[in-house]
Structure 1
Amino acid sequence: MRGKFQNMLVSLLRNTDAVISLNVVTDVKSRYTARDVVENARTISGKYLNAAYHDVHDIANKIEHVIDIMKKHFSSQPGAYYSSSLFFISIGLHKVTLQKRVVMLDIDTFIKGDVAELFNEFDKFETDAVLGAAPELTPVYHHILYTYRNSHKDTKMGSPFSEGGFPGVNSGVLLLDLEKMRRSVIYQGLLIPGEIDKLAQEFTFQGHLGDQDFYTLAALKYPYLLHLLDCGWNRQLCTWWRDHGYQENFHKFATCPSKTKIYHGNCNSHIPDT
């Protein structure tokens, strides 16, 4: 984890001249390690970095009611990897900070483009869009939406983006317009107990990937909440599904013709040498 975080941070700093305000979400035990990594990244890159540290448990406690609603549908079982509150805090982050816009990056990413260009994507949001995310590049939602697709033969939901479908989104790179989240009646409505229950029932949806399940399900019903990022901003490298039932058509989902600006080494995938 330490190595991944340092690689991500150094790559981010080396590819931008922007002044970065970094907010690190960690636990008490890992905070000192995170500080060491930040100091090393400053030294290696020779770039200035303003960093603040936030305890994941403090954040989670403030939005416990939101997290409890989400865990019911977007975590496979108690104690599973994605059952941790860490994987749900982005959904209610607008409730615990006064910041207006935030880019969230998983630590298993490697930045090749200028993060300032990623921030410019906020200016491309349509009026009702509250978040930006790139397409999911595996068939995970094709799989999850099997029952729904079976009863809606013409749907494009869960189909590859390369074929004009909507394969869901991946939360390894997220743009959160927190101010618009606070103002959005639709988004706020999704956080009311019972509303996600209705959506999950409508799409026969039971996920296991935390916040990205929520954003995918929300976008199925309300696509205008989402600004779809180019896949080059989140070039996912996970091939797990290729070896678990999707060998013949995995490539349709994994296709990303764009120039890679951020590699995402999800599933502990190797990130290509650069």
Structure 2
Amino acid sequence: MWKIRTNTFLNFLIVIALVILFYYACFTGDSINPQRSIRRSLRKDIRNLKYVTSALSNPKDYNVWLIFTKVTNVSTLSYKFRDLIHNLLTVSSVPLKFNIIVDRVSQGIAENQIADLLYGNRTLVYSFYDIDESARKIQDIVEVMTPYFSSKPGTYYSDALFYISLGLFRIAPQSQQHAVLLDCDLFKPTALFGLAPELTPVYRHILHMYKAKHNTTFGDYYNTDAPTSNSIHPKGFQGYNSGVVLINLKAQRNSTEFPMIITNETVYRMTSKYRFRGHLGDQDFYTLVGYEYPHLIQTLNCGFNRQLCTWWRDHGYIKIFDKYFKCQHETVVLHGNCNTKIPK
């Protein structure tokens, strides 16, 4: 009899324990791990949220465009993406709208990173744009540019995403008038773009054949002590770096000059004139335009795109590298190009 009562009592305890566990699993699971619950909820609802925020658009939006493609779950780029948005939200004194160009896999990763930012109680207005659809809209521009500004088809800089900035006026909604593209309304009246200088002698290298036969400042480092003359860029012209690009979308759409400049005939003429064979995508084009059509590009100070790459210092230009690399302006954006580690 005692044995039967003992088994009955144990069975009773087991039933009570199961009931308690069931209660906690169903009704208090979120309180046990509220962070996991909130983030799971945010990730679940993130697609609905993006459509709501996408509708919040007006001509006064401060539009930041980001290209976030070919990213994997183990890629450090996913964390850099989150940190970049976090830092911009932290330092910005105006409300920003993020426009993110993605592929299918990268969009899912971006949504997870955005969910973490939203969990931090930050207001985040954003829209996604498909890279394939965007590439189709600028296919004609890419076909013109790649033979001149890529080392060969299929290489890193031959991808359509490296020419997005040239055709962003087609991709962006008509309501957007200005944008900053990161890898503004501070435009001079004729400018379509705003870029900071390239801080290496890469264009001195690319233009060496032309410079050997012509007296030109194209590719020279900036020298404030050089005499002023009527020539274009009399104090030197290092070229541009497209890590940060300000874009006057409205002016691009209304320009009668820009459609002519992005034709094969014009690009061929410029590259032939300077014996220019680039490999850096859109920034090669901007550099040529900056010398041939300086009124179309507003030069930002180097602090807005403080590049850190020193590759050229160790590859033949150690004596003059620092003259290109110097930047006496306050740093606003650090650019860890050529996989340079960004200091904390």
TM-score by length of 2: 0.72
Counterpart Cα distance in 2 of 1:130 and 1:23 = 19
Aligned to 2:181: 104
User: Aligned runs of 1:100-249 on 2, under 5 Å?
Assistant: 100-106=177-183, 119=184, 122-123=185-186, 125-153=187-215, 155-162=216-223, 164-249=235-320
Structure 2 unaligned regions, length at least 5: 1-76, 225-234
Which amino acid counterpart does residue 222 of structure 2 have in structure 1?
A: F
Between the aligned partners of 1:179 and 1:246, the Cα distance in structure 2 is 40
Aligned to 2:32: none
Whole-angstrom CA distance in 2 between matches of 1:268 and 1:4: 13
Cα distance in 2 for partners of 1:232, 1:15 equals: 15
Bigger Cα Rg: 2
Counterpart of 2:293, as a letter, is Y
| Partner residue, 2:49 | none
Deviations for 1:187-241, whole angstroms, at most 9, x for unmatched residues?
Answer: 1111223111111111111111111111111111001101000110000001111
Identity of aligned residues (%): 40
TM-score (norm 1): 0.90
Match of 1:12 in 2: 88
Report how far residue 134 of structure 1 moved.
Answer: 0.2
Instruction: Indicate the RMSD between aligned Cα atoms, in angstroms.
Output: 1.3
SS in 2 for 1:268: coil
Structure of higher RCO (CA pairs closer than 8 Å, 6+ residues apart): 1
**Secondary structure in 2 matching 1:196:** helix
For 2:127, the equivalent position in structure 1 comes to 52
Q: Is the 8 A contact 1:160 1:166 kept in 2?
A: yes
Q: Which moved more, 1:72-81 or 1:93-102?
A: 93-102
Q: Are residues 43 and 143 of structure 1, via their aligned partners in 2, closer, same or farther at CA, if it must alter by over 3 Å?
A: farther
Size of the aligned set, in residue pairs, is 256
Where in structure 2 are the equivalents of 1:34-113 lying within 5 Å?
Answer: 34-44=110-120, 46-97=121-172, 98=174, 99-106=176-183
